Amino acid sequence: MALSRTVRPADWLLDKVERGNPSTRLDEPHPGDRAWSLGNRVRPLVHGATYFAELFERIEATAEGDLIFFTDWQGDADERLTGEPGSEVAEVLGRADERGVDVRGLVWRSHSALLGFTAGENLRLGEDLQRRGAEALLDMRVRHGGSHHQKMLVIRHGDDPTRDVAYVGGIDLCHSRRDDAEHLGDPQALDSMSDDYGETPPWHDMQAAISGPAVYDVETVFRERWEDPTPLSRSPIFWLRDRILRLDLSPDPLPEQAPPPPSPDGGTHAVQLLRTYPDLRLNRDYPFAPGGERSVARGYTKALMKARQLVYVEDQYLWGNHIGDAFVQALSARPELHVVAVLPRVPDLDGLSRVPELLGRRRAMVEMMRVAPDRVAVYGLENRAGTPIYVHAKCCLIDDTWATIGSDNFNRRSWTHDSELSAVVIDTDPDDPHRYARTLRLDLAREHLDREDDDPMDDCTDPAGMFAAFAQSAARLDAWYDGGRVGPKPAGRLRRLAPPRLGPVARALALAPYLVMHDPDGRPPALRRVDGF
């Protein structure tokens, strides 16, 4: 089936009512029932090294009167954006503030390192930036056991709005993210990863660079969180410690928001921001999202039901029955639809969390493969040395039309429980409305098939052809391993993944920790009862 030459954003994107959050001001600049901006240019930045290098240049180019707003799930003050001394995250942002740039940050406070989290590193980033004059606050306004998982950064220029840019995606300003296409890992590596990934874990990730009116929308997401009058934390222990450390506990007023930047040359991208905010309960609702917002879940569900040929996913998790059901409905409705998912080969952590995470994957994969065993393919990645690549990217491409890069994963936690932010792109170019999504899909396929930049990709141009090319490449590599690694290693990085094999006892023991700790439900009780979003 040929893809349509005419694409209407309204057919694919949520309108204001469908977003389901009348309290947000995110969509106020958009006319009528439209909940997206037009005339943008979005550039996918694949790999942390690519993003960090651009971020370094953009921040270094800021001057007095400019703004830098960012949020972070995990931050390391000493992570080098370019690998060179002087490019450390805290140093680069600190220098900007000292030049007169208004630097504001919301860093998730995080849970204890005893639970495998990074509270100490996030605290250090906040301390270092505050010491340099930037206003970086530790934000724990989350549901119990939840997190602020959004990863965004906005740069606005007081003298030239055409240079404004916003970054949205899955890349934190922290260790292990600065990897490139070779996937040898970031020399500044996390020390908590599973031994399967080696000393410098290979890391696959991406961020979207947005120019145009949508920059204003990303900034609004930040402003809504910053201006929330709720205390940054309700813990008296955190309050006392912050007082002792003389940390800033109160967000200062933000300057007036400048109008949206103009559309750049060649700006044909409609951009919609999808978000998750949980129901906080106990009368602690977000004023901009009382009862929460689940536009991530709603946006994906709407787009999946439009799918006709290929859903291509890169994701950290892909967990649970809710996710499996969304794909099952799409696969059942369209006999010609295929699904390709690229996931981590193994979980990122050793220990007690591994089996519950594998159970989550199994719950999603079994449902999908039961309804369409020949139309669903799930792969892991490895580098040329055979080390697994940790897939941290959160990307979904549907029929070379609907394309998203964000912080949200395919699981109930991301769809209901933590804060998330994703940027959806629909290309409105009348000459080729599929260029943006198709180009990104082929760029990712080229890397995973381990082809050179000038190698042809004709076999993958058609979505069905790419499904077959991935299957053939993975089959060759799997056969090489099964045959004892005799002869030259075949080209390609794809390894076929089957649903994890877990016995009935293991599944039963893992179910409670999976549902409560790994994939909790952040919906209001009324939505839980009807199992809706």
The CATH number that applies at residue 75 is 3.30.870.10
The stretch 420-430 carries a mean pLDDT of: 97
Residue 152 shares a structural domain with residue 280 = no
pLDDT in tens, 330-384: 999 999 999 999 999 999 988 888 999 999 999 999 999 999 999 999 999 999 9
What number is the average pLDDT over the span 205-232?
A: 97
Per the structure, the complete domain to which residue 141 belongs is given by: 41-267
Question: What contacts 463, CB < 8 A, 6 or more positions away?
Answer: 309, 310, 312, 338, 399, 400
Residue 249 lies in a domain: yes
End of a domain among 204, 238, 267? 267
Say yes or no: 279 and 262 in one domain.
no
- Cα dist from 478 to 365, 483, 485, whole Å: 20, 9, 10
Asked whether residue 311 carries a pLDDT value surpassing 60, the answer given is yes
Q: How far apart are CA 68 and CA 92, in angstroms?
A: 11
Same domain, 262 and 304: no
| Pair 159, 92 in one domain | yes
Residue 269 CB neighbour total at 10 angstroms: 31
Q: In whole angstroms, what is the distance from residue 55 CA to residue 241 CA?
A: 32
How long, in residues, is the chain? 533
User: How far is residue 310's CA from residue 487's CA, in Å, rounded to a whole number?
Assistant: 34
The verdict on residue 517 lying in a domain is yes
C-alpha to C-alpha distances, 273 to 80, 106, 170, 293, nearest whole angstrom: 29, 19, 14, 12
Interval 67-79 mean pLDDT: 97
Which pLDDT band, with edges at 50, 70 and 90, does 241 fall under?
Answer: confident
Mean pLDDT of 225-234: 91
Pair 115, 245 in one domain: yes
Cβ-proximal residues to 270 (8 Å cutoff; 6+ apart), any chain: 9, 13, 36, 37, 38, 40, 425, 426, 427, 428
Looking at the fold, whether 197 and 317 belong to one and the same domain comes out as no
Give 434's pLDDT tier (boundaries 50, 70, 90). Answer: very high
Residue 20 included in any domain: no
Is-above-0.75 flag for pTM?
Answer: yes
pLDDT for residue 444 is more than 70? yes
Q: How far apart are CA 266 and CA 212, in angstroms?
A: 10
Is the Cβ–Cβ distance between 203 and 108 less than 8 Å? no
Domain termination residue (choose one: 221, 238, 267): 267
Q: Which of 268, 273, 272, 290 is nearest to 281 (CA)?
A: 290
Residues 287 and 219 in one domain: no
* Cβ neighbour number for residue 6 with a 10 Å cutoff: 7
Give the residues across from 294 on adjacent strands: 276
**How far apart (Å, rounded) are the C-alpha atoms in residues 175 and 187?**
8
Residue 329 pLDDT: 95
The mean pLDDT of 266-292, rounded to a whole number, is: 93
277: β partners:
293
Q: Is residue 502 part of a domain?
A: yes
> 126 near 119, Cβ under 8 Å?
no
Please state, in angstroms and rounded to a whole number, the distance separating the CA atoms of residues 418 and 143. 7
Assess if residue 331 is contained within a domain. Answer: yes
Q: Are residues 258 and 302 in the same domain?
A: no
User: What average pLDDT does range 120-127 have in this prediction?
Assistant: 89
Is the model's pLDDT at 103 over the cut of 80? yes
**Average model confidence (pLDDT) across the chain:** 94
User: Could you say which DSSP state residue 173 is in?
Assistant: B
Tokens 């006999």, located at residue: 335
Confidence of residue 385 (pLDDT cuts 50, 70, 90): very high
Distances (CA, A) of 320 to 153, 193, 305, 377: 30, 23, 19, 17
Report, as an integer, the average pLDDT of 380-392.
Answer: 98
Please report whether residue 385 resides in a domain.
Answer: yes
What are the tens digits of pLDDT across the range 14-58?
A: 999 999 999 999 999 999 999 999 999 999 999 999 999 999 999
With beta carbons less than 8 A apart as the criterion, state whether 109 and 219 touch. no
Say if residue 5's pLDDT is above 80. Answer: no
Q: Is the pLDDT of residue 114 over 60?
A: no
Q: Compute CA distances 196 → 170, 189, 285, 411, 518, whole Å.
A: 22, 14, 41, 23, 21
pLDDT value at position 238?
80
Collect all residues with Cβ–Cβ distance below 8 Å to 63 and sequence separation of at least 6: 99, 100, 101, 157, 159
Instruction: Give the CA dihedral 198, 200, 205, 211, nearest 10 degrees.
Output: 180
Q: What is the mean pLDDT of residues 269-290?
A: 92
Residues near 138 by beta carbon (within 8 Å), at least 6 away in sequence: 107, 108, 109, 122, 123, 126, 232, 233, 238, 242, 247
CB burial string 105-116: b at 16+ within 10 A, e below: bbbbbbbeeeee
* Phi, psi angles (nearest 5°) of residue 481: -65, -45
As a whole-number percent, the residues of the chain with pLDDT over 70 amount to 98
Q: Letter for the amino acid at 215?
A: V
pLDDT value of position 116: 62
Question: Model confidence at 239, in pLDDT bands (50, 70, 90)?
Answer: confident
Least reliable range by pLDDT among 116-120, 368-372, 517-521: 116-120
Per-residue pLDDT band for 157 (boundaries 50, 70, 90) equals very high
pLDDT band at 401 (very low <50, low <70, confident <90, very high): very high
The candidate with the shortest Cα–Cα distance to 308, out of 323, 340, 330, is 330
Amino acid at 241: R
Using the predicted structure, report yes or no on whether residue 98 has a pLDDT greater than 80.
Answer: yes
Residue 1 confidence (pLDDT): 53
Same domain? 367 vs 233 = no
CA-CA-CA-CA dihedral for 243, 132, 128, 157, to nearest 10: 110
DSSP line for 211-272: ESTHHHHHHHHHHHHHT--S-S---HHHHHHHHHHT---SPPPPPPPPPPPPPPTT--EEEE
Burial class for 378, CB neighbours closer than 10 Å (0-12, 13-18, 19+): buried
In the three-class reduction of DSSP (H, G, I as helix; E, B as strand; rest coil), residue 193 is classed as: coil
- State the pLDDT at residue 235: 80
Angle at the Cα of 359 from the Cα atoms of 517 and 467, rounded to 5 degrees: 125
Q: Is residue 503 part of a domain?
A: yes
Choosing from 267, 282, 297, the residue where a domain stops is 267
SS3 content of the chain, % helix, strand, coil (to 5): 35, 20, 45
Number of domains comprising the chain: 2
If asked whether residues 260 and 354 sit together in one domain, one would say no
- pLDDT for res 352: 83
Tokens 């077959």 belong to which residue?
Answer: 468
Say whether both 286 and 198 belong to one domain: no
Whether residue 231 sits in one domain with residue 143: yes
pLDDT greater than 60 at residue 207: yes
In a domain, 486, yes or no: yes
Choose among 446, 432, 443, 526: nearest CA to 493.
Answer: 446
Nearest Cα neighbor of 272 from 514, 509, 42 is 42
